[in-house]
Structure 1
Amino acid sequence: MNKRKKPRYKAEDSFLIEVAWEVCHQVGGIYTVIKTKAKEICNIWHDNYCLVGPYFKSHAEAEFEPLTDMNTPYGRVVKKLQRLGIDAHYGKWLIAGRPQAILLNPHIKEDVLESEKFRLWEKHRIESHHGDQLLNEVIGFGYLLQILAQEFGQGQKKTKQPVIWHVHEWMSATTLPDINKENPNLKTVFTTHATMLGRYISGNNDKFYEQIKNLNWLEEAKKYHIEPQARIERNAANAAQICTTVSEITAKECQYFLGRKPEIISPNGLSIERFSILHEVQNIHQQFKEEIHQFVIAHFFQHYTFDLDKTLYFFTSGRYEYHNKGFDLTLEALSKLNKKLIEENIDKNVVMFFITRKPCNHIRPQALESRGILEEVRQTCEKIEKQIGDKLFYETVANENQKLPEINKLVEDYWKLRLRRTLQSWKRESLPLLATHQLVDEENDEILNFLQKRKLNNKKEDKVKIVYHPDFISPMNPLFGMEYGQFVRGCHLGIFPSFYEPWGYTPLECLASGVPAITSDLSGFGDYVLKYLPEHQEAGIYVVNRKSESFSSITSQLANFLFSFVIKGRRDRINMRNRSEDASEKFDWNIFANHYRKAYNAAIHQE
């Protein structure tokens, strides 16, 4: 008698539960990964897809919409959790695709937390330090995930339908080994976007990639006081049925630090929205460039002026990691660029923005005051314009000589005096600010120290001018008042020559916005571009060679590229913008989501 064959499910026939610390909770780049991927995953898995994250009220109020209809597989399991006294929430994440989401409050009872800490130590040698709030929240979240996995798995036993449990990063993985062992009907996938050890060691070791094979993971974890996180990450990677990471560069870290080489590389994509007409790219760039102009006028014109039509806007952004993010390399190249532009008497200026998050006390009063006085100048000019409008018309038609009236005579003395006094109160003899905010530890800030040492301090004769903005750009930001994506579109070039970057969203975001970008061959994105986009430079993607060149050689290489970009004609830059946006289509989630589908198929068919 023949045995009945088990049905061979496809990944999209399964329930897919994707767990991440950044669901409805923006902390870093994983938020962008999950958020931009969700629509494509919803198109494939439909109502079988659900995201799980931590419940933090302030974040949830902005991004989460509770559902009252609990008669779905995910709604029913949340009702079970609530009956168990767990603070669980079921609803929709208010992003493209509007995926279902379950949020679990990680602040569990103190006695339960202490019991869970002891269990993790006894079973997995994960030691939790007293007073580490993040680790306490992560452990609480993991404890609740284990209950959720068990309850959902029990509820789906009768259907025989596979359940994929996909966990991102260590913050959602404390109990993954237990979930995997205790719920054989769940198929587990673990994705690391950057190993904890890789991030710490690379920031303190210039020979990181040369020495990675010889580093002892446990010794290094103890050295940097991240043993609990490293153990969580390593345990999860080895327990999951399938392990993935975002780039071949990070796969090497997984092999040496986590003890497992990932089966699948799942690079990060974006949801690319193209403009149907090419000139729209330029029109949008022009619109947001005008908004950046307003900031630049307020920041610099109080001290001296320069021609904005001959000014290019460069920027870098991301987590403040001076060495890892290539801020050191970028500053050296900008210093060389400034010198070269002055020596060759190039009639152009560059304003370079450093957009990052750094502890600061407040926005400098001078920056706010300048913005406020400039707005008063604008309002005064608008009132003068309105006042003389009718007079100009009358004087023009009544003038028998058919000459344009003398505009100055049409303005009342009151408005002339008011405008003059406002301008006098605005003008300054000092140099423009380097940093828009007062930093907490300003004396030890690497960016400011470099700028002061090289005297790149916004002198009038400098061709490269610096704006160091230690906070993110948003519509609520009183200095910019625009979305970060709008700011990117208004710029001419993004600079991201990272030393350590598992993937690197920022240059990809530039391409999607029609903005050329610089990356490095030590970033996952740059490495991918070199392998799969042979004509990347024509598409506006310049990859700095950091694998084999010396630091001095790289800075000269980067400075020369920046110089060639500055002297390009306007038409050449427009053409490059269009090619950049064209290239971004190759990174759309409708292509890259297939890597995850491959991982899910491998998980459900693994015996």
Structure 2
Amino acid sequence: MDKTPAIPQVDLLFEVSWEVCNKIGGIYTVLSTKAKTLQKQFKDKTIFIGPDVWTTDTPSPWFSECKITGLSDWALNAKLPEGVSVRVGRWEIPGRPIAVLVKFDGMYAVKDEFYGEMWKRFGVDSLHAYGDYDEGCAFAHASGVVIESIIKSGFGQPVQPAGKRGRKKQTRIVAHFDEWTTGMGLLYVRWKLPKVGTVFTTHATSIGRSICGNNKPLYDYLDGYNGDQMARELNMEAKHSLEKAAAHAADSFTTVSEITARECEQLLERRPDVVTPNGFEKNFVPAAAKLPAASKAARDKMLSVASALTGKKIDPNSFIVITSGRCEYRNKGLDLFLDVCDELKRCKPARNIIAFVMVPAWPKEARADLAERLGTLEKAPLVNDEAPLNDPVITHWLNNPESDAVNCRMHQLGFTEIDPRVEVIYVPCYLNGTDGIFNMSYYDLLPGADATVFPSYYEPWGYTPLESVAFGVPTVTTSLSGFGQWVLESFENYFDECGVNVIGRGDSNYRSVVENIAHSLEYLTEAGEKETKKIHKAAMNTASEAAWSKFIRYYDTAYQQAIEKASRRKLSDAD
């Protein structure tokens, strides 16, 4: 086992991400759960920097503006470029770290000049930029300017004692940037602040994700791919160029799993210095004494929705299985999950199966007919079967039903024809407790499941299966996910040993993966009470092994690397 590094001596740590106080995807989970451990290690020496994309009418629900001694005074007097402003406060998550939100509109005015400078110094080719490139770069540039201003103000840095003679002690400052969207900020810091150690984390390479999203095989041919060539082919030149430049300029380059490390080495042409697996905190998991009640409430709600859609009395012993995550049909394995549900019709599960696809898509509105029938069922459960609702496989109407891949595949496989052995229900909205049908958050519904399945094709880490086992819900995932690889390295690959079954997946075994996952679920439907309790306990133990308190050491290594490299750098590097 690796020797646990000492906590690095950091005077000031910045972490920059588009998802600071801005809940969009998995990186929000990474940072918001890691923050508590960073606060424990560094107290208020950590400053998270995120985009100020909020207004008075739509404020961030995760940010509270408040006075931070020293930093609020800096914000009041900071001479930032015109159009760039900041708000200082706390990120309302466990640990309540300091957060600075940056209004970055002023950077658009100097965009072309800045892009030219980045081309000259780091070879970043922004010529073919489109989409969200300019927005990400404007935020990153402004974040770099803010970091420079904070450092020059002296905030959080040790003061040389009065009358102390001799050489001034080197200040140990680390600036950590997440994803290509912050790459310009890292390059700005390397240019303007050579004594600041820099860390760059790619949670998924932009070109690797694009290769998969364009239905090209990534793994069988990885050794033959050239990142620059593929970027030209897939019109990803600007993002790829920026990400590659940031990876090479960083003092410490990290990624979240070994599978993504190989991807970085091939496509970005730099092997990450440290693999930093994603941990989390169990703050959202109910206490053990409350979990049974939470599970029952979730099951009752999901069974009621299934009954209302189909018009059938649902067996209360039905086996509930969930898949969820970002709406990436192939990358997240949604195609495979639906084929697993179809395969289960040909298996012999011991219990009827209700499968929920909880993936935010492009919802139009909650179904009024479904909400009405649910209200009726709450007053009086079904005595006799009724006619199913029209299109009884979806809870919210879509804006684009004809082009939604999940919706189309469900109809193609015939799930609209009610089969009590396997029913599939599509929940295409964000479950935040106000969706109009469930009115429960995803975390409120998760403990009601008997199992989850995340058959990912492209998954650098994979929080969804980790969240599942935190609730004691067994999960099936694949060897192409970082989490799946970690399980294979850390445990015996059996439900009763770790609560997880990792299925080997590659570019050429789709059908066998479908069959193997179907058999895994069939096994779980047959598990008795004693075996189910053992699996539940094993799942929760696995989650405990993935706590940030155990994984933060990898970031400590990265911070120490960055500090050591920066200390050896000459000031002339900024010329």
**Pairwise TM-score range, normalised by the shorter structure:** 0.7 to 0.9
Shift of 1:76: 4.2
Distance between the aligned counterparts of 1:348 and 1:464, measured in 2?
9
Q: Cα 1:173–1:600, aligned 2, differ >3 Å: closer, same or farther?
A: same
| Mapping for residues 67-466 of structure 1, pairs under 5 Å | 67-69=66-68, 71-72=69-70, 74-81=71-78, 84-85=81-82, 86-108=84-106, 110-123=108-121, 124-127=123-126, 132=131, 134-156=132-154, 159=159, 160-205=170-215, 207-273=217-283, 280-300=290-310, 303-308=311-316, 310-341=317-348, 348-363=351-366, 367-376=367-376, 378-379=378-379, 427-428=386-387, 433-459=392-418, 461-466=419-424
1:470-549 aligned within 5 A: 470-534=428-492, 536-538=494-496, 539-547=498-506
Shift of the 581–451 alpha-carbon distance from structure 1 to 2, 3 Å rule, reads: same
CA contact (8 A) 1:324 1:500 kept: yes
Q: 1:141 to 1:548 in 2, by over 3 A?
A: closer
Give the counterpart letter for 2:184 in structure 1.
T
**d(CA) in 2 for partners of 1:82 and 1:191?**
30
Contact 1:522–1:546 (CA under 8 A) maintained in structure 2: yes
Calculate the TM-score normalised by the size of structure 1. Answer: 0.84
Q: Which runs of 4+ in 1 moved over 6 A?
A: 274-277
Task: Return closer, same or farther for 1:491/1:82 CA change in 2, 3 Å cut-off.
Answer: farther
| Distance verdict in 2 for CA 1:535–1:430, change over 3 Å | closer
Shift of 1:549: 6.5
Residue 573 of structure 2 aligns with which residue? none
Moved more, 120-129 or 163-172: 120-129
Q: How many residues align?
A: 544
Deviation string for 1:349-374 (max 9, x for gaps)? 111111112223333xxx32232244
Q: What are the superposed Cα offsets for residues 330-351 of structure 1, whole Å, 9 maximum, x if unpaired?
A: 222211111223xxxx662111
Partner amino acid for 1:18?
Answer: E
Counterpart contact for 1:278–1:578, Cα < 8 Å = no
Name the counterpart of 1:61: 60
Out of 567, 570, 573, which is 2:532 matched to? 573
Q: Sort the Cα spacing of 1:429 and 1:604 in 2 relative to 1 into closer, same or farther, 3 A.
A: closer
Contact residue 12 and residue 44 of structure 1 kept, 8 A? no
Larger Rg: 1
Rounded Cα–Cα distance in structure 1 between residues aligned with 2:406 and 2:158: 60
Query: Is the 1:516–1:576 contact (alpha carbons within 8 Å) kept by the matching residues of 2?
Result: yes
Q: Distance in 2 between matches of 1:270 and 1:166?
A: 19
Q: Which residue of 1 aligns with 2:3?
A: none
Change (3 A) 1:51 1:278: closer
Change (3 A) 1:28 1:520: same
d(CA) in 1 for partners of 2:513, 2:67 = 57
- Give yes or no for contact 1:496–1:518 (8 Å, CA) kept in 2: yes
Cα pair distance change 1:107/1:356, threshold 3 Å: same
Change in 2 beyond 3 A, CA 1:353/1:465: same
Alpha-carbon distance between aligned partners in 2 of 1:545 and 1:143, rounded to the nearest angstrom: 42
Q: Among the aligned pairs, what percent are the same residue?
A: 27
**Residues 1:250 and 1:429: Cα distance change in structure 2 (over 3 Å):** closer
Structure 1 position 307, deviation (Å): 1.4
Compared with structure 1, are the counterparts of its residues 323 and 376 closer, same or farther at alpha carbon in structure 2 (3 Å cutoff)? closer
Contact 1:325 1:497 in 2 (8 A): yes
Change (3 A) 1:354 1:144: same
Say if 1:268 and 1:503, in contact at 8 Å, map to a contact too.
Answer: yes
Counterpart check, 1:467 vs 2:465: no
Structure 2 Cα separation of the partners of residues 199 and 429 of structure 1: 39
Residue in structure 2 matched with residue 404 of structure 1 by the alignment: none
Compute the displacement of 1:222 (Å). Answer: 1.9
Deviations 1:182-227 (A, max 9, x none): 2122110111100001111023345311211211212211222221
Change (3 A) 1:158 1:63: closer
Deviation at 1:77, TM superposition (A): 3.8
Distance 1:353 1:82 in 2: 52
- Confirm whether residue 14 of structure 1 aligns to residue 8 of structure 2: no
Distance in 2 (CA, whole Å) between partners of 1:18 and 1:140 is 17
1:327 shift after superposition = 1.5
Rounded to whole Å, the distance in 1 between the matches of 2:324 and 2:42 is 34
Q: 1:18 to 1:374 in 2, by over 3 A?
A: closer
Q: Tell me the equivalent position of 2:165.
A: none
Rate the CA distance shift 1:239–1:44 in 2: closer, same or farther, 3 A: same
Counterpart CA distance in 1 for 2:243 and 2:130 is: 21
Say if 1:81 and 1:88, in contact at 8 Å, map to a contact too: no
Q: CA deviation at 1:449?
A: 3.0
Structure 1 runs not aligned, ≥5 long: 1-8, 382-418
Q: Deviations 1:79-122 (Å, cap 9, x if unpaired)? A: 34356543111111111111001111122265333433444455
1:273 Cα offset (Å): 4.9
User: SS where residue 147 of structure 1 aligns?
Assistant: helix
- The yes-or-no answer on 1:553 pairing with 2:550 is no
* Alpha-carbon distance in 1 for matches of 2:342, 2:376: 36
Q: Which has the higher helix share?
A: 1
Which whole-Å CA distance do the structure 1 matches of 2:288 and 2:62 have between them? 33
* Partner-residue secondary structure (3-state), 1:438: strand
User: Could you tell me whether the CA contact under 8 Å between 1:153 and 1:186 is conserved in 2?
Assistant: no
Find the aligned partners of 2:146 and 2:389 in 1 and give their Cα distance.
Answer: 61
Amino acid at match of 1:521: S
Residue identity opposite 1:232 in structure 2: L
| 1:62 aligned partner, one-letter code | P
Change (3 A) 1:44 1:580: same
Shift of 1:276: 10
CA distance in 1, matches of 2:210, 2:560: 33
C-alpha distance in 1 between matches for 2:378 and 2:400: 36
8 Å CA contact 1:281–1:578 kept in 2: the answer is: no
Deviation at 1:472, TM superposition (A): 1.6
| Cα distance in 2 for residues equivalent to 1:142 and 1:80 | 21
Q: Distance in 1 between matches of 2:364 and 2:297?
A: 32
Q: What are the ranges of 5 or more consecutive residues in structure 2 without an aligned counterpart?
A: 1-5, 160-169, 569-575
Identify if the C-alpha distance between structure 1 residues 90 and 435 changes in structure 2 by more than 3 Å, giving closer, same or farther: same
Conserved 8 A contact 1:282-1:574: no
CA separation of 1:83 and 1:375: change in aligned 2, threshold 3 A: same
CA distance in 2, matches of 1:276, 1:429: 35
Hey, what's the Cα distance between the residues in 2 that align with 1:144 and 1:276?
40
Q: How far did residue 264 of structure 1 move?
A: 0.5
Distance 2:7 2:484 in 1: 33
Name the aligned partner's letter for residue 108 of structure 1: G
